[in-house]
Amino acid sequence: MSAAAAVAVLAAGLAGCGSFQNMVPDVSAFRLPDRSTFMPTRATFNYNISPTAGVTSADLVDAQGQCSAAATAETHGVRLDMTECEVVHTLGPPQSIDFPQADQRRVVLIYRGGERPGIYEFTAGRLTAVERGDDGPPPVAKKPKKQQPPA
C-alpha cells in the first residue's frame, strides 16, 4: 500500500467521525490547583502550643536551679513548652543557670553532661529553645581480630 493510499484511508476515517476538532478535548478551561493545596502556608504552622493553664511559682526554678515542689509525674524526654521544673525533674539539676534579663522571666539551664547535654532556654517559665550540647564522638565498635589458621 502506498503512502498516498494510507493518507486517503486516514482522511476518510476522520471525515466519517466528524471534524478533527471534535476529537480533541477543550483544555482552555483547565486550571492547575492553587499551590497552597500542596504546600501549606506559613500561617498553617503558627499555633499556640501553650496549655491554657498558666505557669505558677511552683513551676519555676530558683537561683540554684532547684524546684520548690516535688516531682508530680515522671516524664520520659524533654519537649518544647515544658515548664522549668518539668525539665529539672526529667534531667536533674543543671550544672549552671543564668538569668540574662531582669525585666522578663528568661532562664537558661545548662547541662554539660548526662543523658541530654545542652542549653535549655525558657521564656515566661516555658521551654522555648534547646541547643544540643557536645556529646563527644560516637563510640567506635571494635572489630574482632581474625584468627590465623594453624600452619
Read off the pLDDT of residues 87-127 as tens digits, 9 standing for 90 and up.
Answer: 999 998 999 998 877 778 899 999 988 878 889 999 888 99
Amino acid at 81: D
Does the structure show a pLDDT above 70 at 39?
A: no
Inter-CA distances, 76 with 24, 28, 95, Å: 62, 57, 20
**Any idea where the domains of the chain sit in the sequence?**
57-132
pLDDT of residue 44: 40
Task: Tell me the C-alpha distance between 81 and 58, whole Å.
Answer: 16
Task: Tell me the C-alpha distance between 126 and 123, whole Å.
Answer: 5
- For 61, residues 6+ apart whose C-beta sits below 8 A from its C-beta are 67, 84, 85, 88, 97, 107, 109
